[in-house]
A and B are shown apart, each in its own frame.
Chain A
């Protein structure tokens, strides 16, 4: 039985729209609730990041509860940086018990980027092994140690990340295949600015038939300014931002509007690429702009799911 809302939408071949909420660096959930309420009619699901860039934030699973209460569909992100296989499986059981149905399995940004650079990282398992653990919990009703789950098993729709802009380029598609072999049902990509490289990536994906085995959701990020674009270009690991985008933002009289226009253009183009099953809008610190982008991209209203 498929319980995930996004699994239902994708299985019908409908173009998925997901958004992202970065939980706050404090214990007040009002911002999460506000964003979830604002976004729930414009996106089919919302990712809750897991201490992104290794900065301590309200937990992704707790944030997912607030999203559910606001009427949204959470995709909880889970990194292997901070948890060993015991904590991972415990959190998966807990998250499922609280109503979470979607997970995105990640390595996690290295702790040296965050606000606790002297922390010990865990990396007991890697993101690929995490995918397999989530799949075995669901399909084999088994814990990672092989022990049987006597009772309700957590049944997650399993997501994984792919970064077409990291190296080695040729191996990116092989690793995506590996993630699908491990059990990934859907893939969310790193934000796409270099469309030419993404198209080459998708050509290799189609060559291997991977788009038929997992749903590829293309990541986009609206940029507020040329400065934000330069920051992405220079300081964010595994990211390619072409100069052309920076030039457009620099020349624009209203850079925010230009950033939205670029993002909408990207979404419209991504919809034409065979094998792209949806878009994931990562509006970092700019969640309020998502409804505008979804409407302008012609993706509103969103499909209703029973």
Chain B
């Protein structure tokens, strides 16, 4: 899923400082699971913003809505009745995708309440880790199911570099060296020789370097 975390309250407050009424929109997708932008967090953020503004003697009106998903126009439409003329700003607690879908749909100033971090998963309660670099061409079959693109701090395809010591990455002693993990796994699976194959330079045009990407599934598109 997409992992996000809330921006500091004062930062969000600064983004809406001129607004009298804001629509605070949560998302029922990934950010609900990673406890950053679901219904609960949306309610808390709205309450905190109101409280802060009350203290400042400049009261704020908030309306809170949590959509099933902000990254889907079908659900975004559900917001229509709340986007009234007197709403000055829409605060989105979705990932960057949701923020943009709202901005595309409504002629309103839309601001993000979260920082979108990465594609990852839950490793312990309250702890999420990055696992996928969204490079557009999966090579996990070459590396024993461990991604060097995102888990190696240098995205090395023929690792490990000289900074791997004691199983840790030189960049952070708490970060496991992805190539040590790959080595251990390949050895355990009896496939160490596969690592002797020289991996050629990657085709980054399939990653973000090729510009915004698009996936089209013609078998499910509905021709207008």
Q: Known: A163-B162, A174-B195, A190-B162. Contact between A168 and B200, CB under 8 A?
A: no
Given A107-B161, A110-B153, A124-B204, does the pair A178, B196 have CB atoms closer than 8 Å?
yes
In the complex, per-residue mask of B158-189: 1 if CB is within 8 Å of any chain A CB, else 0? 11111111110011000001001001100000
Contacts of A163 in B (CB 8 A): 162
State which size class the interface on A falls in: 35 or more
Q: Give per-residue flags for A108-152: 1 if the beta carbon is below 8 A from chain B beta carbons, else 0.
A: 111011000000010111111100110000000000100000000
User: Could you say which of B158, B162, B171, B201 contacts A144, with CB atoms under 8 Å apart?
Assistant: B201
Q: Is the interface of B mostly helix, strand, loop or mixed?
A: loop
Query: Is there a chain A Cβ closer than 8 Å to B154's Cβ?
Result: yes
On whether the beta carbons of A121 and B154 are closer than 8 Å, the reply is yes
Say yes or no: A238 contacts B170, CB within 8 Å.
yes
Q: Would you call B166 and A167 a contact (CB within 8 A)?
A: yes
Q: Does B91 contact A (CB under 8 A)?
A: no
Looking at the assembled complex, report how far the CB atom of B149 sits from the nearest CB atom of chain A, in whole angstroms. 9
Give A199 to B169 CA distance when docked, in angstroms: 25
A residues in contact with B161, CB < 8 Å: 107, 127, 166
- Which residues of chain A in 205-261 are interfacial with respect to chain B, using CB atoms and an 8 Å cutoff? 237-238
For A126, the closest partner residue in chain B by CB is B156
B180, A110: Cβ atoms under 8 Å?
no
- How far is B156's CA from A175's CA once the two chains are assembled, in angstroms? 13
| Of B154, B166, B204, the contact of A107 (CB 8 Å cutoff) | B154
Are B156 and A107 interface neighbours, CB within 8 A?
yes
B183, A171: Cβ atoms closer than 8 Å: yes
Residues of B in contact (CB 8 Å), total 30
Is A81 part of the binding interface, using a Cβ–Cβ cutoff of 8 Å? Answer: yes
Alpha-carbon distance A123/B199, docked complex (angstroms): 14
A110–B158 touching, CB < 8 Å: no
Q: Known contacts A107-B161, A128-B158; is A181 also within 8 Å of B198 by CB? A: yes
Interface string of B200-222 (1 = CB under 8 A from A): 11101000000000000000000
Bound Cα distance A238, B153 (Å): 15
Cβ contact within 8 Å between A129 and B201: yes
- Residues of chain A contacted by B171 (CB below 8 angstroms): 110, 112
Chain A residue nearest in CB terms to B155: A123
Cα–Cα, bound, A166→B163 (Å): 6
A81 touches B158 (CB 8 A): no
